[in-house]
């Protein structure tokens, strides 16, 4: 059997050991390593650097082809020197020759391959070079080896690695074999679910992207996962199921588990955010502080093998159980399991966020499949991913603290602080608190970069400083800001805000579609789906840039007569009309909710409006009905308690007042009589603010659709989500009332989906 592997991958598995230390500089680490390598390699001829080597090694009955690039290949005094360069943050004089066996192992494998290729040589010298991050200082260790001396080392390396390799290979082959024989887990497809699955399958086979609007009830989760499994065509291929909310991950886990129960033998990992899964009271990836980071690499191979051979679904609970068993960081453990899994469930940011995406999967082109759940959320999330800000206050405070402590750091802090003062003066002179500009101030970026460099060196040299938390926070903020600045183009604005003497500078993304589409180009196919991906042309524009894609709009599988849909167009809910229409509005709510005892939701566009309507309605009904209202910033426990009130056996009518577009207007399943009606007040328009107005101006200039893209479509999406809470299954019955005079306008009537065509208009 012929096996092809990279040298780095093999030695990385066999010889990794030591601590996990992600506390800082991880974001810049790869670039620092590259810079350090280049600084050292400049001392040598071009042909002596990055020399490619590939050789086949016979091990038992297998031919193992190993390949990689040697950092240095030197011919000196008729001797051959194979050099491996490693950058480090440690003081060079403290480094011992055998501190990191994985470093020596990499060079020793190259030495073995080179001697195998050149049998005329008796020996080669392995040189391990450690250098600081800018490559200005170095320390080298030399060892001379013959082929016979390296033979036992090479046999051991391949023996250990191939044991693991064949475990993985057997699993991946089983994934493909059982994918071919897998039958649809529910026996029969729901109405329109077969069309959905067929479209997904064909899109993947044709290496295209798909925008899919599939209303509630079709079975989108299984309808996308099942054809993705059937479309798998190679052992390395993975399915990524990405969503914005935890509930979406739970549903995906159940779908994959159902596929397991139906015979698909494959590994599935759920990645949970580090802040949520960390075992410690404080997220601090420092081996001195965290026992799960100390010695992590000594234990991770055994932990990985144990879980891999014991389970098929690596959900949060199982990740935590095995992480505690083997005392490894649960977050890094989940990433390790994702690398060897056939499907991965996680948040959007693991694919799309420039600061958090998983490079091991999305850096280079691949045959992976991406399923983007509730894709109507992706635009807003992506705008956040490609935005960043810096504030004056922490810089001013650190400048004060370091005035007499460190001249270089104090000077860099003062230089950047001066730019904030300049911006404050400009805002004061213009008598504004908020200002947007289309161009970046390069001098601000230069000063921010200078401060980042100085701060980095200071933290290297003073790792036990009492001000480490403040310095670390600023370090990450600077790094994120500068990273986002690299993406700056016509789709971005710079925002300057003042709050008293405080000033904030933000890079604001108005249209992330270019960068989203670039990420999608890295995978075989991306399927973006939602019940409210409407209108599809709008979402194609803001999610896929100018990329062509397939678009499918499926009808609802539910019978129209199960939903009584009314449009009350005799009430104005515009901001200036709310006081005047309040009495009419609460009478309408009362009229609808007294028709049948049960549980209702009333959705309003803001907390302020919600509180006003709630107080007026409470005065009207008093104890006749049970009332709830959504609090600001509810905890997970408070949300669960809120939803538990929606009981099918309630003998008194329950009316819950919620925010349109909030946590209760999407992603919740109140099946049967747990929710029998909703009243949606307003058309969901985002509140007018400087940022939304910037979006409006941008989309108006680019597509002549500013108001539609910034206000109407995002607002109508909230309305559709709220409507979708009522009918969740074939058996559900319910009532929905849309309340606003604007629903009679042609713009809104044109947006009514097919399943709303039976709506009754009343005054």
What is the C-alpha separation between 400 and 413, in angstroms, rounded?
9
Q: What percent of the chain has pLDDT over 70?
A: 98
User: Within this chain, do residues 138 and 39 fall inside the same structural domain, yes or no?
Assistant: yes
- The pTM is what? 0.94
Residues 498 and 608 in one domain: no
Confidence label for 285 from pLDDT (cuts 50, 70 and 90): confident
Alpha-carbon Rg for the chain in angstroms: 30
Q: Is the pLDDT of residue 133 over 80?
A: no
Give dist(CA 240, CA 228) in Å, integer.
10
Q: Are residues 331 and 449 in the same domain?
A: no
Residue 528 counted as domain residue:
no
Region 629-638 average pLDDT: 92
Q: Tell me the CA distances in angstroms from 568 to 599, 617, 761, one per residue in order.
A: 20, 18, 6
Q: Lowest-confidence range among 55-69, 138-152, 459-473?
A: 459-473
504 - beta bridge partners? Answer: 391, 497
pLDDT at 94: 80
3 state SS of 187:
coil
Q: CATH no. for residue 694?
A: 3.40.50.300
pLDDT band at 460 (very low <50, low <70, confident <90, very high): confident
Q: Which of 109, 128, 163 is where one domain is finished?
A: 163
Dihedral sign computed on CA atoms, order 221, 227, 229, 235: negative
Kindly report the CATH number assigned to the domain that includes residue 470: 1.10.275
Please name which of 274, 328, 273 lies closest in space to residue 306, comparing C-alpha atoms: 328
pLDDT at residue 22, as a whole number? 66
Q: Which of 511, 143, 303 is nearest to 295 (CA)?
A: 303
Residue 120 within a domain: yes
Residue 520 inside a domain? The answer is no
- The CA-atom distances, in angstroms, between 442 and each of 449, 482, 667, 694 are 10, 11, 43, 22
Q: What pLDDT is stored for residue 135 in this prediction? A: 73
Give yes or no: residues 594 and 717 share one domain: yes
Residue 704 and residue 608 share a domain? yes
Q: Using the 8-state DSSP alphabet, how is residue 605 labeled?
A: S
- Cβ–Cβ < 8 Å for 11, 106: yes
Say whether both 159 and 55 belong to one domain: yes
Where do runs of H (alpha helix) occur along 243-372? 246-261, 274-277, 296-310, 316-326, 330-339, 349-352, 359-362
Query: Highest-confidence range of 81-85, 613-617, 728-732, by mean pLDDT?
Result: 613-617
Q: Whose CA is closest to 100, among 191, 217, 12, 6?
A: 12
Percent with pLDDT over 90 in the chain: 83
Quickly count helices (H) and strands (E) in the chain.
27, 25
Query: What is the arithmetic mean of pLDDT over 700-707?
Result: 97
Which residue stretches of 658-750 are H helix?
690-703, 706-707, 713-723, 746-749
Whether 206 is covered by a domain: the verdict is no
209 or 463: which leads in pLDDT: 209
Each residue's pLDDT tens digit, 307-346: 999 999 999 999 999 999 999 999 999 999 999 999 999 9
Which one of 341, 369, 397 terminates a domain? 341
Q: Are residues 294 and 156 in the same domain?
A: no
pLDDT score recorded for residue 29 = 55
- Between CA 473 and CA 482, with CA 479 as vertex, the angle to 5 degrees is 140
Residue 24, pLDDT > 60, answer no
Nearest to 78 by CA among 118, 133, 128, 25: 118
Identify the three-state secondary structure at position 145: strand
Contacts 24+ apart (CB under 8 A), 743-751: 743/567, 743/569, 743/683, 744/567, 744/569, 747/708, 747/712, 748/683, 748/712, 748/716, 751/534, 751/535, 751/712, 751/716
Q: How far apart are CA 537 and CA 542, in angstroms?
A: 9
| Cα-based distances in Å from 595 to 341, 548, 733 | 53, 49, 14
Number of domains, the chain: 4
In whole angstroms, give the CA distance from residue 701 to residue 695: 10
Mean per-residue pLDDT over the chain, rounded? 94
Q: Are residues 149 and 24 in the same domain?
A: yes
Residues 330, 457 within the same domain: no
Predicted confidence (pLDDT) per residue in 643-674, tens digit:
999 999 899 999 999 999 999 998 888 999 99
Domain of residue 733, residue span? 560-761
Q: How confident is the model at residue 134 (pLDDT cuts 50, 70, 90)?
A: confident
Q: Which residue has the tokens 């991406």?
A: 370
214 located within any domain: no
Q: Which of 269, 255, 247 is nearest to 227 (CA)?
A: 255
C-alpha to C-alpha distance for 77 and 43, rounded to whole angstroms: 18
Structure-token match 């990055």, residue found: 50
Q: Are residues 24 and 143 in the same domain?
A: yes
Using the predicted structure, report yes or no on whether residue 89 has a pLDDT greater than 80.
Answer: no
**627 within some domain:** yes
Report whether pLDDT(28) > 70.
no
pLDDT band at 40 (very low <50, low <70, confident <90, very high): confident
Task: For 480-524, write each residue's pLDDT tens digit.
Answer: 999 999 999 999 999 999 999 999 999 999 999 999 999 999 999
Point out which residues pair with 376 in neighbouring strands. none
Residue 38, phi then psi, degrees to nearest 5: -65, -35
Task: Return the bridge partners of 2, or none.
Answer: 63
Dmax over Cα atoms in the chain, in whole Å?
98
Determine, yes or no, domain membership for 481.
yes
Nearest to 362 by CA among 246, 509, 240, 474: 240
Asked if 13 and 93 sit in the same domain, the reply is yes
Q: What is the CATH number of the domain that holds 110?
A: 3.90.320.10
pLDDT at 306 over 60: yes
Last residue of a domain, one of 107, 128, 163: 163
Of how many residues is the chain composed? Answer: 763
Residue 741 sits in the same domain as residue 592:
yes
pLDDT in tens, 590-613: 999 999 999 999 999 999 999 999
Is 212 inside a domain boundary? Answer: no
């Amino acid at each position: 059997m012929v096996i092809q592997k990279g040298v780095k991958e093999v030695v990385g598995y066999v010889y990794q050991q030591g601590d996990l230390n992600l506390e800082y500089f991880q974001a810049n680490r790869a670039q620092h390593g590259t810079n350090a390598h280049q600084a050292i390699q400049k001392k040598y001829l071009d042909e002596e650097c990055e020399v490619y080597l590939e050789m086949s090694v016979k091990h038992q009955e297998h031919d193992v082809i190993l390949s990689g690039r040697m950092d240095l290949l030197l011919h000196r005094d008729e001797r051959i020197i194979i050099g491996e360069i490693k950058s480090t943050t440690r003081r060079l004089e403290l480094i011992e020759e055998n501190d990191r066996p994985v470093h020596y192992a990499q060079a020793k494998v190259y030495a073995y391959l080179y001697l195998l290729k050149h049998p005329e040589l008796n020996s080669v010298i392995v040189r391990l070079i450690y250098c600081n991050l800018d490559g200005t200082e170095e320390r080298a260790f030399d060892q001379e080896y013959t082929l016979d001396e390296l033979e036992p080392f090479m046999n051991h390396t391949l023996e250990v690695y191939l044991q693991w390799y064949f475990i993985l290979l057997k699993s991946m082959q089983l994934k493909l074999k059982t994918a071919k024989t897998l039958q649809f887990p529910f026996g029969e497809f729901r109405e329109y679910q077969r069309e959905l699955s067929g479209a997904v399958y064909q899109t993947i086979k044709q290496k295209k992207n798909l925008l899919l609007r599939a209303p509630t009830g079709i079975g989108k989760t299984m309808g996308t996962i099942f054809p993705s499994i059937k479309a798998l065509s190679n052992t390395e291929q993975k399915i990524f199921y990405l969503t914005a909310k935890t509930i979406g991950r739970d549903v995906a886990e159940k779908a994959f588990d159902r596929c397991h129960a139906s015979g698909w033998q494959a590994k599935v990992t759920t990645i949970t955010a580090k802040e949520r899964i960390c075992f410690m009271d404080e997220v601090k990836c420092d081996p001195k502080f965290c026992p799960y980071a100390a010695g992590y690499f000594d234990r991770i191979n055994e932990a990985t093998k144990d879980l891999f051979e014991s389970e098929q679904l690596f959900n949060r609970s199982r990740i935590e159980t095995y992480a505690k068993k083997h005392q490894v960081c649960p977050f890094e453990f989940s990433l390790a399991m994702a690398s060897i899994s056939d499907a991965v469930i996680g948040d959007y940011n693991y694919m799309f966020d420039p600061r958090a995406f998983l490079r091991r999967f999305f850096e280079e082109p691949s045959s992976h499949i991406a399923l983007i759940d509730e894709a109507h959320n992706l635009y807003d999330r992506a705008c956040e991913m490609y935005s960043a800000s810096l504030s004056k206050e922490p810089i001013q405070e650190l400048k004060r603290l370091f005035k007499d402590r460190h001249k270089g750091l104090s000077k860099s802090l003062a230089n950047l602080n001066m730019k904030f003062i300049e911006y404050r003066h400009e805002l004061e002179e213009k008598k504004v608190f908020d200002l947007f500009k289309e161009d970046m101030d390069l001098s601000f970026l230069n000063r921010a970069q200078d401060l980042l460099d100085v701060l980095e060196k200071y933290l290297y040299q003073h790792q036990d400083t009492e001000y480490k938390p403040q310095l670390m926070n600023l370090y990450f903020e600077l790094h994120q800001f500068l990273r986002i600045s690299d993406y700056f183009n016509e789709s971005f604005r710079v925002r300057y805000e003042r709050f008293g003497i405080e000033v904030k500078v933000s890079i604001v993304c108005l249209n992330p579609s270019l960068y989203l589409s670039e990420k999608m180009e890295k995978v075989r196919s991306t399927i973006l789906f939602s019940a409210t991906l409407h209108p599809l042309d709008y979402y194609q524009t803001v999610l896929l840039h100018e990329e062509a894609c397939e678009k499918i709009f499926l009808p609802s599988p539910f019978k129209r007569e199960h939903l009584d849909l009314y449009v009350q167009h005799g009430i104005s809910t515009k901001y200036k009309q709310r006081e005047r229409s309040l009495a009419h509005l609460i009478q309408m709510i009362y009229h609808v909710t007294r028709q049948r005892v049960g549980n209702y939701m009333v959705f309003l566009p803001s907390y302020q409006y919600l509180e006003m309507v709630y107080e007026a309605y409470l005065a009207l009904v008093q104890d006749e009905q049970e009332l709830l209202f959504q609090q600001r910033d509810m905890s997970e426990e408070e949300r669960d308690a809120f939803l538990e009130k929606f009981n099918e056996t309630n003998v008194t009518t329950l009316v819950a007042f919620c925010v349109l577009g909030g946590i209760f207007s999407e992603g919740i399943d109140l099946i049967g009589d747990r929710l029998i009606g909703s009243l949606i007040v307003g058309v969901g328009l985002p509140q007018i603010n400087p940022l939304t107005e910037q979006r409006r101006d941008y989309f108006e200039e680019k597509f002549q659709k500013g108001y539609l893209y910034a206000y109407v479509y995002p607002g109508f999406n909230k309305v559709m989500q709220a409507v979708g809470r009522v009918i969740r299954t074939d058996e559900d019955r319910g009532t929905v009332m849309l309340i606003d005079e604007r629903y009679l306008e042609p713009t809104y009537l044109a947006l009514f989906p097919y399943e709303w065509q039976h709506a009754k208009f009343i005054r």
